[in-house]
Amino acid sequence: MIPVTQPFLPPKEDYEKKLELIWEKKWLTNNGYYVSNLEKMLESELNVPNLKYVTNGTLALQLAIKALDIQGDIITTPFSFVATTTSILWEKCKPVYVDIDPTTLCINPDKIESAITSNTVAILATHVFGIPCDVEKIEIIAKRHNLKVVYDGAHAFGVTYKGQSIFNYGDISTYSFHATKVFHTVEGGGITCISDELVTKVELLHSFGYFGEDFYLPGINAKATEFHAAMGLCNMKYIKQNLEKRKRISEQYNMMLPKEIQVIHIKENVGYNYAYYPVMFDSEDVLLRVISNLQTKEIQTRRYFYPSLNKLSYITENFDCPISESVSKRILCLPLYVDLDEYIVKEIADIIYSVIEGRN
Ligand SMILES: *Cc1c(COP(=O)(O)O)cnc(C)c1O
C-alpha cells in the first residue's frame, strides 16, 4: 500500500536521548524546557517575531479568533480543511464564504469587498497547499474596512513571500504541526501575532487565563507537552533535508505528468515548501476513474478538499462559490512524503495518462 502521506520519523535514538532530560527534570508540561526551546528555535528558523506553541492547529485558530475578541461575520475561504470553518463556528461567529481565485485556489481578494457588511469583523483566509494568499490586497481591504486578518497557515510552514516568512502578514497566523504536515510534533500547533499585546493575550488564553497568582481571562487549556516538543526538536534537525526531498519528488511529478493537470505554479517571489501535490482533472468522472485505477494498484490518494466548505451539511445559508465547488469536485492530492520512491511517481503518472487518454 502506498499511502497519500506518511509522517517523517527521526532516528529513534534521537528521541530517546531527548527523553532522558524529561525523566531527569520531571517536568512534563506547562511551558517546559523543550517547549520553550522549540518556540525559540522556530522563531529564529522561520524569522517570525514570536511563536506560541499549542496543542494543535485547530485550537490555534480558535485562540486566534478569541484573542482578537471579535463577534460577527468572518469572511473566509470555502476551499480549505474543515477546521478553518469549525473554528469560526466554535467561537460563535458566522462564516461568510467568498469564492476562490482559480489559479492560486486561495480566497479571491477581488470578491471580498462586495461581501463586506456592517456585521463583518474579520477575514480568515488559508494559504492553501502552502500557496500564499494575495496578502497585499487583503491588507489594503482590511485597513479600508477596519477588519482583522487571520491566516490559517497550516500548510505554509517555511513558505516565504518577498523574502520573508508568510507568517509575518495579517494580525495573527496559525500553524499546524500535525503528523501529516511538512513539519510535525505528532500533534501540535502554533500562533504568531504581530502585536505584543496579542501575544500576551494568547499566552494567557492558552493556559486558563492564568498568570502568577491571578486569573485574568476566561481561557482554555491548549498547552503543549515536553514529549511533543521533543519530537519537534528532533524533526527540526531534518527539516531542510526533508524539504529538499519533497521538492525533488514534486519536480519528478512535474516532469512526468501532463502540464494541464498541474495545479501548483510557484511565483518568482515565493519560497515554496512542497507541502502537497494536487492535480486537477477536467471532470469529476475522470477524477473518480483515476482514484479507482490507482486504488487497484494499492496507491492511495485524497480528495483534498472536498466538499467545498459552503456545502457542508451544517452550513444552511447559500453562498455563491462556483469556482470552489467546481475545483473541489475535480482536485486530487497524490502521494507525497519524504520516503516516496521515484518509480512510484512514474507508476502513478502512467496510470493517470492511461485514464486521460481513455485507455482505462
Ligand atoms: C491540518 C489543518 C488544520 C488543523 O490542524 P490540526 O493541527 O490538525 O488541528 C487547520 N487548517 C488546515 C488548512 C489544515 O490543513
As annotated, the residues of the chain forming the CATH 3.90.1150.10 domain(s) are 239-356
Cβ count within 10 A of residue 27 = 14
To the question of pTM greater than 0.95 for the whole model, the response is yes
The Å distance, Cα 154 to ligand 1 centre, comes to 5
The Å distance, Cα 96 to ligand 1 centre, comes to 19
Q: Active site includes 181?
A: yes
Who's near 100: CB < 8 A, 6+ residues apart?
Answer: 77, 78, 79, 106, 107, 108, 128, 321, 323, 324, 327
79, exposed or middle or buried, with CB in 10 Å at 0-12, 13-18, 19+? buried
Q: Is the C-beta atom of 152 inside 6 A of ligand 1? A: yes
Catalytic residue among 18, 181, 201, 329: 181
Grouping H, G, I as helix, E, B as strand and the rest as coil, residue 106 is coil
Atom of ligand 1 nearest to the CA of 80: 13
Domain 12-97+105-236 -> CATH class: alpha beta
Q: Is the C-beta atom of 126 inside 6 A of ligand 1? A: yes
Asked if 70 contacts 148 with a C-beta cutoff of 8 angstroms, the reply is yes
Atom of ligand 1 nearest to the CA of 56: 7
The Å distance, Cα 249 to ligand 1 centre, comes to 23
As annotated, the residues of the chain forming the CATH 3.40.640.10 domain(s) are 12-97+105-236
pLDDT digit string (tens) for the chain, length 360 residues: 999 999 999 999 999 999 999 999 999 999 999 999 999 999 999 999 999 999 999 999 999 999 999 999 999 999 999 999 999 999 999 999 999 999 999 999 999 999 999 999 999 999 999 999 999 999 999 999 999 999 999 999 999 999 999 999 999 999 999 999 999 999 999 999 999 999 999 999 999 999 988 999 999 999 999 999 999 999 999 999 999 999 999 999 999 999 999 999 999 999 999 999 999 999 999 999 999 999 999 999 999 999 999 999 999 999 999 999 999 999 999 999 999 999 999 999 999 999 999 887
CATH of domain 239-356: 3.90.1150.10
Who's near 276: CB < 8 A, 6+ residues apart?
Answer: 129, 130, 155, 264, 304, 333, 336
Cα separation, 52 vs 36, whole angstroms: 9
Chain mean position to CA 308: 16
The Å distance, Cα 189 to ligand 1 centre, comes to 8
